[in-house]
Amino acid sequence: MSLLLQIFKIFVFSLGATCGIILAWWYIPNYTDHKYSIQSHPHFHPVTDSKYFNHWLAEHGLSREKNTCSKTTSLESDYLKQHIKITCVIFISNIKSAYRVYSSWVEKCDNFYFFGPNGDPFIPIITTTHSKYPWQRLCKSLEYLILNERTHLHWIILVTDDKFVIPENLRYSLVLINSTKPFYGGRIKSHINILYSQLNSGIVINVATLELLLQTNSLPCYLQNFYDADYVLGRQLVFHSVYPKSLLDENKCNRFHSISFTQMFSSYVRSRPDNYDLAAGHLRDKDGLCFSNTSVTFDMPDLTSKEMFETVYEYMLYHFRRTPLCYSASQYLSPPPYSEKIWAESISMYTNKSDENILAMTKEQYYKLWTNLTLELPQSREIIT
């Protein structure tokens, strides 16, 4: 009997050790992840090329025109909204952040859903999916969407409540992608040999992806773990050979960012001047990617900030208008005369430099001056409001 007991103990020990090794291999970070790059995974980076986009417009009997006065024209963003439906899903951790989202960009989405721990009298917040476990929160929210809102879903962007999203740019980046096949995109990160899209920069999926997860029972919402929810989602999709796409623009610039719009033009450039390519006209982020002119997401400032940046962003994106260039169906007004002195006088209001000193600056000096002023510019919100 003692011999059998010893054999049984050895068997149990061996089984436990084997399981431990397997779990360690599965969960311990792989420190070669930093080798991930666009060059090593080019197929993960579909590019929205304006040439192909113009071809797409031509197939729909349309073309791009500048400064047209024709009454038959419409905004490109309005036309894309008819074809690309965006559902915005916001995960709330602070109700004040939710208010900022609700009062700025979320109305540009075709549909939107707030998920959070508590209800609110002003914002419709879905609380039934909340859990203390990150993966359960995300999983139950996705399950809620596909089971209750299937008819309203087309493309979906998942973000936290500290993000500013430009849905118009997202529509442009998705227009050439086949929406009937599972899609999964955003800013790509590598962890434990898994490539996944980061929630803190925004995750883009479509209804085909949700249906795939539901039909294959790949939404194990019962899992109670504290691993990052975006990583677990990426791991589940890898099982079905659905890998993240970065949605770079035609210059291979990144559209999804985990820093604020102000930081793009201040701290990164100020601390790392080599990150600005004057020849190409692009700023570069910490991964060496340039910031896209058609960026989709970036951070709003911390709630401790006294500046309401989201108000400025929303105003500049959707309400600011330049002087009209036409006044009838066929005639154009001349553009206002350009005067460097006007700009010099404007800048001198924020600096101790005279107009003459500003006019004598080189282009590089002029650029650095504007960079140093970036953090102060949002003060103009007092004039805007």
- The two most distant CA atoms of the chain are separated, in Å, by 103
What pLDDT, on the 0 to 100 scale, is given for residue 252?
Answer: 83
For residue 256, is pLDDT > 80? yes
Q: Residue 44: what pLDDT?
A: 53
The mean pLDDT value for 344-363 works out to 73
**227, pLDDT greater than 80:** no
Q: Among 129-143, 185-199, 241-255, 283-297, which is the least confidently predicted range? A: 283-297
pLDDT in tens, 38-95: 444 544 555 566 777 887 888 877 777 665 556 666 778 888 888 899 999 999 999 9
Q: How many CB atoms lie within 10 A of CB 198?
A: 19
Domain boundaries defined on the chain: 39-336, 340-385
Has residue 219 got a pLDDT over 90?
Answer: no
| pLDDT at 338 (0 to 100) | 56
Q: φ, ψ for residue 354 (rounded to 5)?
A: -80, 165
Average pLDDT, the chain: 75
Paired tokens of 326: 């036409």
Looking at 61-65, 126-130, 333-337, which range is the least confident one?
Answer: 333-337
Q: What is the mean pLDDT of residues 160-164?
A: 93
Q: Is residue 277 pLDDT above 90, yes or no?
A: no
Task: State residue 343's pLDDT score.
Answer: 64
Ranked by mean pLDDT, which of 230-234, 311-315, 338-342, 375-379 comes out on top? 230-234
HEC profile for the chain?
Answer: CHHHHHHHHHHHHHHHHHHHHHHHHHHCCCCCHHHCCCCCCHHHCCEECHHHHHHHHHHCCCCCCCCCCCCCCCCHHHHHHHHCCEEEEEECCCHHHHHHHHCCCHHHCCEEEEECCCCCCCCCEECCCCCCCHHHHHHHHHHHHHHHCHHHCCEEEEEECCEEECHHHHHHHHCCCCCCCCCEEECEEEECCEEEECCCCCEEEEHHHHHHHHHCCCCCCCCCCCCCHHHHHHHHHHCCCCCCECCEECCCCECEEEEEHHHHCCHHHHHCHHHEECCCCEEECCCCCEECCCCCEEECCCCCCCCCHHHHHHHHHHCCCCCCCECCCCCECCCCCCCHHHHHHHHHCCCCCCHHHHHCCCHHHHHHHHHHHCCCHHHHHHHHC
Question: Which range is most confident: 20-24, 43-47, 72-76, 232-236?
Answer: 232-236
Distance, in Å, from the CA atom of 106 to the CA atom of 121, rounded to the nearest integer, reads: 18
What's the rounded Cα separation, in Å, for the pair 357 and 338?
Answer: 19
The answer to whether residue 222 scores a pLDDT higher than 90 is no
CA 255 to chain centre: 6
Q: How far apart are the first and last CA of the chain?
A: 86
- 244-283 burial by CB neighbour count: b if 16+ within 10 A, else e? bbbbbbeeebbbbbbebbbbbbbebbeeeeebbeeeeebb
With b for 16 or more beta-carbon neighbours within 10 A and e for fewer, the 287-318 pattern comes to eebbbbebbbbbbbbeeeeeebbbbbbbeeee
Contact 79, 62 (CB under 8 A): yes
What's the confidence (pLDDT) of residue 253? 85
pLDDT at position 301 is 75
The CATH code of the domain at 39-336 is: 3.90.550.50
Q: Is the pLDDT at 383 greater than 50, yes or no?
A: no
